Every structure is written in C-alpha cells, then in structure tokens.
A and B are shown apart, each in its own frame.
Chain A
Amino acid sequence: MNPILHDLQNKRWIWTATNAKQQAAKTLLETGFESLDNVLTGGFPRAGMIHLNSLLGCGEIRFILSVLQHQHTVSIEHKLNIFINPPFDLNAEFLLAQKVALKQLIVVRTTQQNDALWSAEQCAKSGACRAIFLWQRKLKHTQVRKIEHAALQGDCYCIWLDSYIPYGQQNLPNSVKSDLPRDLPRNLPLSLSLSISRQADTLTIKVNKQKVGWAQKAVKVPLPFSSRTNSSFKHHLDQALINDVNKVVSIHANR
C-alpha cells in the first residue's frame, strides 16, 4: 500500500466501507430516532462542528436540544451553553421550558464577524462548554477548520446555525440570511451537516455530510419536542373562530 495511505489509515483518517459497523461503536451520541440513527450510522459524532441549515423558526434549536439531552457525562450540567449572535433576543421562558439552566448560559454579542468566530473558537477550545450555538451566514474553509479543531479539542459541540428567512419578510439582523436556500457549502471540514425542514408534525432531515457512512436519503422524524400546537388542539376550539381568524390573517398578509 502507498505509505501515505497506510499512515493515514493508522491514524484512522480514512474510512472504508468494510469497517463501517466497527466504527459505529459506542463513541456516537444516539439521537433518539431510530431512522435518523440508521442514516447517521449510529448517531451524532461525540464532538465537533455541526452545520444546521434550516428556515428560521422550524424547531431547529429544539431538535438539537432534544438530541443533546442524550448526553450522559458526569460534568455536563456544569458546562456552559454559549449563544453567539442570535438573530433576535433569546427568550428566557422558552429556555427554561427546554430545561436549559440559565446559570450555565452565556450570550455573546459582537459587531464584527471575526470577533464572533474568535469567541466560538475560544469557547470550543476551553473545554468548559457543552455546546456553542453560532449564528453565521457564511464561513470559509479555514474558519470552519479552526472551529472544528477547537471543538474536538475541547470535547464540545459547535452548532453552526445557517438559518434563513424567505426574502423580504422582515428587517433582518446580519447573522441571518434573507434568501432562498441556495447551494449548500461544500467540502467544508465539518463533523456533520444537516438540513432540516418542517411539515406539520414531522421534521425532514437530510444529511448533507457526515464523516463516516454512505450518502442517504432524507428521513422523516416526528417532532422531537412536546408541543401543544398540533392538530388535535384545534378540536377544542370553536371551529367558527378559527375560520374567522384565518380569514383575518390571510387578508392582512395579502395586503
């Protein structure tokens, strides 16, 4: 064998289909959905940078938090959750409902993109964080590589929220795109890249990139979070009222 290849294989930097089953060992974090675990050949990586492409407001944070709940490390409750440049104000009530301890939560706001990336890298590297949520529009290869490396070193997740809003919807902050989903960034050294979209009660998750495993079709998973906003709720309401409200909304929206 080529000595370089041999060297790389010794370092386990090369994945071959034959040892797929072996590598999908206990080192992965189960997501809680069998179908998703199958696609991911076992689950989320133990640490690293995760790219999450979605429409803003389709339950992307709740999905991630539900997966992170499966972490069972002793010191996990002492670790910090860092939110870097969320597009709007975070709501404490929501976070409490998601069982995120506010004491362990830090919001970082920067004016410069460089500062945001620097913070993300520092947080990831420190080993004091559980997860870093970074809202960013675009990242370059070297930037991703730095953060990915830091996250692996610090044994934490850095979740890159590549959220967008349909064009012309609102006055948007810098960290959110306002156009239709374009081509996803390719060849970035990420641990995992997912695209999420939502239809009524299911999430469709497409794995864009993972370090180990075959390319797979998108999977549908039920909403991972308890929500009263499902269809059964409607029955409690006066049907007439709903019709009325719908009318009002559509009139206004069409104006």
Chain B
Amino acid sequence: MTEVTVPTGLWDTGDEAAISAWLYADGDAVAAGAVIAEIMVEKSSFELVAPASGTLAILVAAEIPVVQGQTVARIA
C-alpha cells in the first residue's frame, strides 16, 4: 500500500490549503504518474500525482483543509 501525501515546502505552513478536486473517484484504478487530485493554496493549483498504480482509497474529501505532509489517500 502506498500513501498519497500533501507535499511539503511549497507554501508557507500558515497558508490555508485544501483539495479542490479529486480527478478520480474512491475505488478507481489509477496509474502511477497520473494526476489524481488538485490542491488549492494561495490561488495556486498543485497537481497531486499517483506515486504508484493500483486502487485509490480517498481519505480526505474535496474542499476539506489539509496540511503539509498529511496522508490524503492510499493506493493499494
């Protein structure tokens, strides 16, 4: 099982970030390297990439705030 985490070091820790959209649904098959979600922070969109191929399990719904380093999904 591979964890999908929010990147670190790209924005101030005090900035509010949230997943603006999941581009795949919970339970979908995803390929390594595919953009699976977008994180919105400071009017910037960061594309979250699948670190492995497998079945996506979403842990944090869209529009819920997230913090750097947080696990937001797993791929098994």
Partners in one complex: no
**Chain A: residues with CB nearer than 8 A to chain B?**
none
**Chain B: residues with CB nearer than 8 A to chain A?**
none
